[in-house]
Structure 1
Amino acid sequence: MKKLLIIAGVLFVAVGGLVLKTFSDAGQFKSLSPHAPGKCKPVSGMPGAEDITFHPSLGYAYVSSDDRRATMAGSPVTGGIYRYELSGTAPPVLLTGGFSPDFHPHGISLHVDPSGAQTLFVVNHTQAEGNRIERFEVGEDGLLVHRATFRDALLVSPNDVVAMDAQRFYVTNDHGNPPGMKQRVEDYLQLAQGNVLYFDGQRFQEVIQGTKYANGINRSLDGSTVYVAQSVGRSLSSYARDPKTGALTLLKTLDLDSGPDNIELDAEGNLWIASHPKLLDFASHAGDPTGKTRSPAQVLRLTGKGADLKASEVFLDNGTQTSGTATAAVFGKRMLLGPVFEKDFLDCELP
């Protein structure tokens, strides 16, 4: 009996320690002091604007929109890619009308070649055929023309994509398992089972393995460096890229003390990362169909290059203005904050 009590006590201490570590690693004990660089206004009509990216010179944004609450409730609604003009004189324009009713976009990436031709890559979680990457071209009328679909068994849980040119791209798998119990185990035990894939124009191949929820991915302006955000890993990794093979070599991993989501670049090449300072709050927000459970939103600005990146906090909200923000896209003095589940995104002023 005494031996059993000792074993039970050891197990109790071990489980308690694991729970405390999980809460600490998720940032649950943090004290937050909300602040914003300027006023923010809500923009409606594009629910679940999980990813937003600007045309680098023309001042409008592409918005990836999907009503994830409806999908989780078993009544999926066709998602869309929209164009949002910063002038505010025109309503958002749906660019993918008529493409496919089974369209549920996630991460997006825009490539603009020297001639001005635009190619947009989109992660698509179809209900009928699983995960795919779609390639669109922007027509003369500004609408998206579908050009190709890329499928592969390696696309287990794709999250974000970054274009290297009009044919080649990288894509993150945030988990090593499809949605379900094994995926939840990955998260709560902080297992490094995610990865990054490279599509060389012909086939997919794994170029990074062992990531803790590989989420956002982007590249430096010159294409020599690739950045990968790890949400559960609470870090940003920088990789030197081999332009011939696409191979990535780790330069540095920067601890962000927060759960980074998508990565966007401004005109100077600075990185803007939307992040979840309390990951378990985000998990609760994601699991609440009413959306009443709120999740703090944070934006980090990273300056420097390669292994010399330094982070500063630009925006922090306790879930009042926005909740579960996944993207911070910047053009000039404007910052667009896109949430995973909210019906509105925020259009904010920068000083």
Structure 2
Amino acid sequence: MNDAGEFKKLTPHFAGECFPVSGAIGAEDITILKNGIAIVSCDDRRKTLNGTPVQGTIYAYDLKQEVPQLIDLTAGVKFEFHPHGISVFENENSEVRLAAVNHTQTKNSIEIFDLKNNVLIHDKTILDPLLVSPNDLVMIDNNMLYVTNDHSVSTQKGKMLEDFLQLSRSNVLFYNGQNFAVAATNLGYANGINVSRDGTTLYIAETVGNRLSIFSRNTSTNELLFKQSIDFKSGIDNIEIDVAGNLWIGSHPKLLTFARHAKNGEKLSPSQVFKVSPVADNTYAVDEIYLDSGDGLSASSVAAVYNNTMLIGPVFDEYFLQCDFNNRF
């Protein structure tokens, strides 16, 4: 119970103002392009859990606009689509390629798209037996990526057992454009993943482990070497990195409460956002930026920042938050 954070006292705070952006159900992952356009991965997970799944959506949300609007980028997707973690790669010509973890009723896959004229054009589907429980991913270039498996098994019973026993059996895979290989192992629910702007450091959020694991990445061989971990005493989720290299992490401070919220939307789950700033070699400053009891937003899974604006996405809620800081970061 202590590991799950159930007895911790929460004091909600945020130095700014937030308002809900409706129309995006289950905005579990959000990433922001260099031009200020947020890409929002949405899926109505409650309907899926209830056996009545509906097609998921990836939206664009332009933060440069005075009144941003949600634009459906996947209206033309004809195959079953339930996006989870997403990642983008922008080349020197500002061309955007997007990868999305997809969970259908029968398989897990990674879907690759090219973003052109507010449309995600599907390029290919990546399937592999090693994708047992993919969660999040990070693109290294147009073809290569790392992806987390949050469990070592695909069955619901096996996943529940790993969670209950807090087993560190999940892993990270590397995809070289043709094949997958295991890149990191023995992780406690490998969840969010991202890479430093220079490509030399890989960050992995271990939700059940309550820690951020930091690996050095060989940019020639793509091999990972564990460096250190940071204890959060919270179930950290997705990781976004701003233009200054700071990490922004959505988190679940009470994991058992989150589990109850997953079963019943009327039971609120707290939301939390951390900012992690590299300050020197192997040294990081950790600040709690946002904390809410679940009234403003339940079960935050991601936070992404552009200029003075932060977007916070949830696992289940029917809206995400747009928050403006009182003081610019």
TM over 0.5: yes
Which residue type is aligned with residue 298 of structure 1?
Answer: Q
Q: Does 2:271 match 1:297?
A: yes
Q: Which residue identity lines up with residue 250 of structure 1 in the other structure?
A: F
Aligned to 1:84: 61
- Residue 262 (structure 1) shift: 0.1
Q: Distance in 2 between matches of 1:314 and 1:90?
A: 24
8 Å CA contact 1:238–1:307 kept in 2: the answer is no
8 Å CA contact 2:184–2:224 kept in 1: the answer is yes
- Checking the alignment, whether the CA contact within 8 Å between 2:71 and 2:118 is kept in structure 1 is no
The 2-side partners of 1:300 and 1:218 are apart by 15
TM-score scaled by length of structure 1: 0.91
| Matched residue type, 1:219 | V
Aligned CA distance change for structure 1 residues 332 and 166 (closer, same or farther; 3 Å): same
Partner of 1:216: 192
User: Once superposed, what is the RMSD of the aligned Cα atoms?
Assistant: 1.0
**1:338 aligned residue (305, 313, 324):** 313
**CA drift at 1:346:** 0.4
Q: TM-score, structure 2 length as denominator?
A: 0.97
C-alpha distance in 1 between matches for 2:101 and 2:298: 22
What amino acid is the match of 2:276? L
| Higher Cα Rg, which structure | 1
Q: Partner of 2:232 in structure 1? A: 256
**1:320 corresponds to 2:295:** yes
SS at match of 1:89: coil
Percent of residue pairs bearing the same amino acid type:
47
8 Å contact kept, 1:193–1:212: yes
- CA change 1:76–1:306 in 2 (3 A) is farther
CA distance in 2, matches of 1:90, 1:28: 37
Q: Name the structure 1 match of 2:42.
A: 65
> How far apart in 2 are the matches of 1:142 and 1:210?
40
**Offset at residue 186 of structure 1 (A):** 0.5
| Matched-pair contact (CA < 8 Å) for 1:252–1:306 | no
Q: Which residue of 2 aligns with 1:52?
A: 30
Cα distance in 2 for partners of 1:347, 1:60 equals 13
Please report how far the alpha carbon of residue 180 of structure 1 lies from its aligned counterpart in structure 2 after TM superposition: 1.1
Q: CA deviation at 1:88?
A: 4.6
- Structure 1 residue 143: deviation in Å? 1.0
Superimposed CA distance per residue, residues 51-79 of structure 1 (whole angstroms, 9 cap, x where no aligned partner)? 000002x1110000000011111110000
The answer to whether 1:123 aligns with 2:101 is: yes
CA distance in 2 between partners of 1:109 and 1:91 (Å): 21
**Structure whose residues are more often strand by fraction:** 2
Matched residues, number: 324
Deviation string 1:117-169 (CA, Å, 9 cap, x unpaired) is 111110000124x1000111111x12111111110000000000000001000
Structure (1 or 2) with the greater helix fraction: 1
Q: Is the 8 A contact 2:88 2:98 kept in 1?
A: yes
Unaligned runs of 5+ in 2: none
Measure, in 2, the Cα distance between the counterparts of 1:338 and 1:79.
15
Which residue pairs with 1:19 in the alignment?
Answer: none
Gap runs ≥5 in structure 1: 1-22
Q: How does 1:101-180 map to 2 (within 5 A)?
A: 101-128=79-106, 130-139=107-116, 141-180=117-156
In structure 2, what residue type is equivalent to 1:207? A
Q: Amino acid of the residue matched to residue 297 of structure 1?
A: S
